[in-house]
């Protein structure tokens, strides 16, 4: 049994502060915080995938080639990686809330411009601005989950947040297909602008600052400009301190002074994270997993239109199985991660404090995480291989969609595990760490998006996805390396920090 390979039982971990809760927010308040964060994380992939079904219409209306229109997808993904590298560290330094608000204001302005523009140049520039406005929200929403969850609960809460991101993949093509089919491609951008405008009401009114560098476990009062509008207005009219909808309960010894601006933002911090062997290997592997994921989303309109002669609306509907699996995968994976964390802890004799701050320096976190990711990655690789050959022989559409569901469930699950590991490794600056992850995966995904159609045409459908599946399969050996060498690499990294 696997438990026999664990070292002898270790002494129980002691909380860093036995009288201090990891977060003062109760379960109802955390639910609200996670909901707001999950919705924020939804917008970047929703904006990306809602655009896919309209590509042919845009090319026709703007009188450009399909290759030129695909460049707008590639540049969007480039900014998906670049923007979080700058704004992620900013969110770790000055807070989650202001970056959310400013980013969404920029996003709304870009959506309005996209709905009104009539040229390819304007489309290209405004898509870059739209991406810059919303792309950092993925990294920051993950950081919000890390702010309010311990390592023992991180799988569940990050799963909930990431499911919001995955939902964008699930519903984006459907929404884009319906809107562009019946109302034209401009309606996609009007819809996105209105959706975010409505969402910003609870965000501005009630969402509290959660950044641990700013408010600690929630017991430190944020500066007035960084408080929910409801709190600020109530304090202004009543001239005394009152509780916001998300109540901040004081803890003995806590200060009321926010730490905002104590640390100046440094965009290069995302690059510095990549210098460590364990982190670099995780980022490289995660980029390969994401690239495999992206080959499905980017090639579906082209392949399904070519093989099954589907129109814009039906192509959008074909994303439902893959998107549904991508939505379910983080939720199921999160539960598996928390279960495996408890199992590994029991095996090595470590007690788990779910609501208290604990040191994870001696915990075998690699074993708790990688043993979940490995079988998922292998299943995804095999499904990719089968998918390519179903398309090669013009197999039934139902078979292709079933395989897309399996790929979405397994590949997204493996991807989610690595996202959690990145935060496990950098709990003090999760937005910066996630931004580094986004930078690598989005840029490799952008390259894959550009190359996948060329590969399909040059290699054939079967051999193209066989190649993608084999790359994923053999690169998964990185997980075995992390299982064996990761603990020592992590120990060395922590001793040098």
pLDDT exceeds 90 at position 5: no
Q: What is the pLDDT of residue 203?
A: 94
User: Distance between CA 14 and CA 185 in Å, rounded?
Assistant: 57
Higher pLDDT, 264 or 74: 74
81: nearest Cα among 365, 264, 286: 286
Mean pLDDT to the nearest integer, 205-218: 88
pLDDT reported for residue 251? 41
Report the chain's mean pLDDT, rounded to a whole number: 83
Q: Is the pLDDT of residue 312 over 80?
A: no
Distance between CA 399 and CA 213 in Å, rounded? Answer: 49
Alpha carbon distance 119, 301 (integer Å):
23
Give me the pLDDT at residue 108, please. 97
**pLDDT confidence of 188, banded at 50, 70, 90?**
very high
End-to-end Cα distance, the chain? 36
Model confidence at 254, pLDDT cuts 50, 70, 90, reads very low
pLDDT tens digits for 414-452? 988 998 888 888 877 777 787 788 788 878 877 887 788
Q: Which of 198, 199, 132 is nearest to 164 (CA)?
A: 199
Whether the pLDDT of residue 243 is over 70: the answer is: no
CATH number at 21-250+266-496? 1.20.1250.20
- The predicted pLDDT at position 149 comes to 84
Secondary structure (3-state) at 17: coil
Per-residue pLDDT, 395: 94
The DSSP bridge partners found for residue 379 are none
Backbone angles phi, psi at 440, to 5 degrees: -70, -45
All structural domains of the chain with their residue ranges: 21-250+266-496
Higher pLDDT, 348 or 337: 337
Category of 344 on φ-ψ map: left (φ > 0), alpha (ψ -120 to 50) or beta: alpha
CA 273/CA 493 separation, integer angstroms = 10
Q: Is the pLDDT of residue 33 over 60?
A: yes
What pLDDT, on a 0 to 100 scale, did the predictor assign at position 13?
A: 36
The two tokens of residue 252 are 């003995």
> What is the rounded average pLDDT of the residues 255-266?
51
Residues 6+ apart with CB under 8 A from 76: 47, 48, 51, 127, 128, 130, 131
User: Is 50 exceeded by the pLDDT of residue 340?
Assistant: yes
What would the pLDDT profile of 351-371 be if each residue is shown by its tens digit? 766 666 556 667 888 898 999
Three-state SS sequence of 435-496: HHHHHHHHHHHHHHHHHHHHHHHHHCHHHHHHHHHHHHHHHCHHHHHHHHHHHHHHHHHHHH
Considering only residues 470 and 229, tell me which one the structure prediction assigns the higher pLDDT. 470
pLDDT band at residue 412 under the 50/70/90 scheme: very high
- pLDDT at residue 127 above 90? yes
Share of the chain above pLDDT 90, in %: 35
User: pLDDT at position 68, please?
Assistant: 80
Q: pLDDT band at 264, cuts 50/70/90?
A: low
For residue 18, give the DSSP letter: T
- Kindly tell me if the per-residue pLDDT of 268 is higher than 90: no
Reported confidence tier of residue 373, pLDDT bands at 50, 70, 90: very high
Out of 67-81, 316-330, 404-418, give the one with best mean pLDDT.
404-418
pLDDT (0 to 100) of residue 16: 37
What percentage of the chain exceeds 70 in pLDDT?
87
Q: Are 131 and 422 in contact, with CB atoms under 8 Å apart? A: no
Could you read off the pLDDT of 87-118 as tens digits, one per residue? 777 887 888 999 999 999 999 999 999 999 99
pLDDT for residue 122 is more than 60: yes
Report pLDDT for 255: 44
Whole-number pLDDT of residue 247: 46
Burial string for 200-238 (b: 16+ CB within 10 Å, else e) reads bebbeebbbbbbbbbbbbbbbbbbeebbbebbeebeeee
> Which range, of 241-255, 262-276, 407-421, averages the lowest pLDDT?
241-255
Question: Which residue blocks in 50-65 are alpha helix, DSSP H?
Answer: 55-61
């Amino acid at each position: 049994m696997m438990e026999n390979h664990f070292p002898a039982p270790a002494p129980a971990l002691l909380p860093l502060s036995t009288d201090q809760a990891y977060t003062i927010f109760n379960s109802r308040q955390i639910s609200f915080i996670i909901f707001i964060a999950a919705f924020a994380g939804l917008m970047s992939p929703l904006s990306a995938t809602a655009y896919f079904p309209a590509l042919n219409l845009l090319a026709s209306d703007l009188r450009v080639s399909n290759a030129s229109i695909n460049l707008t997808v590639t540049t969007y993904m480039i900014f998906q990686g670049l923007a979080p590298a700058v704004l992620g560290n900013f969110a770790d330094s000055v807070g989650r809330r202001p970056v959310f608000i400013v980013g969404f204001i920029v996003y709304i302005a870009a959506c309005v411009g996209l709905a009104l523009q009539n040229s390819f140049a304007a489309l290209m520039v405004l898509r870059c601005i739209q991406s810059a406005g919303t792309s950092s929200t993925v990294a920051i929403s993950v950081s919000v989950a890390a702010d309010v969850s311990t390592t023992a609960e991180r799988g569940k809460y990050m799963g909930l947040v990431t499911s919001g991101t995955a939902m964008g993949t699930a519903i984006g093509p459907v929404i884009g297909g319906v809107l562009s089919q019946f109302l034209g491609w401009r309606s996609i951008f009007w819809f996105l602008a209105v959706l975010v405008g409505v969402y910003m009401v609870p965000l501005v009114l009630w969402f509290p600052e959660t950044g641990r560098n700013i408010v600690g476990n929630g017991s430190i009062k944020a500066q007035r400009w960084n408080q929910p509008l409801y709190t600020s207005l109530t304090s202004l009219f009543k001239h005394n301190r009152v509780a916001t909808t998300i109540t901040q309960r004081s803890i003995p010894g806590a200060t009321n002074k926010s730490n905002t601006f104590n640390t100046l933002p440094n965009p290069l911090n995302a690059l510095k994270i990549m210098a460590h062997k364990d982190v670099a290997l995780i980022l490289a592997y995660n980029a390969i997993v994401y690239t495999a994921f992206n080959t499905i989303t980017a090639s579906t309109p082209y392949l399904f239109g070519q093989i099954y002669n589907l129109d814009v609306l039906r192509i959008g509907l074909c994303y439902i199985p893959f998107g549904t699996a991508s939505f379910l995968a983080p939720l199921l994976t999160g539960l598996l991660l928390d279960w495996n964390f408890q199992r590994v802890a029991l095996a090595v004799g470590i007690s788990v404090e779910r609501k208290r701050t604990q040191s994870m320096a001696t915990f075998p976190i690699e074993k708790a995480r990688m043993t979940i990711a490995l079988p998922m990655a292998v299943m995804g690789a095999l499904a990719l291989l089968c998918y390519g050959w179903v398309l090669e022989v013009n197999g039934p559409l139902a078979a292709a969609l079933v395989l897309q569901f399996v790929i979405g469930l397994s590949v997204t699950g493996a991807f989610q595990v690595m996202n959690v590991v990145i935060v496990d490794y950098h709990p003090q600056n999760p937005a910066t760490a996630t931004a580094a992850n986004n930078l690598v995966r989005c840029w490799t995904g952008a390259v894959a998006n550009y190359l996948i159609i060329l590969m399909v045409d040059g290699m054939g459908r079967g051999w193209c996805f066989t190649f993608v599946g084999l790359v994923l399969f053999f690169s998964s050996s990185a997980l075995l390396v992390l299982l064996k060498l990761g603990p020592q690499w992590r120990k060395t990294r922590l001793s040098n920090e």
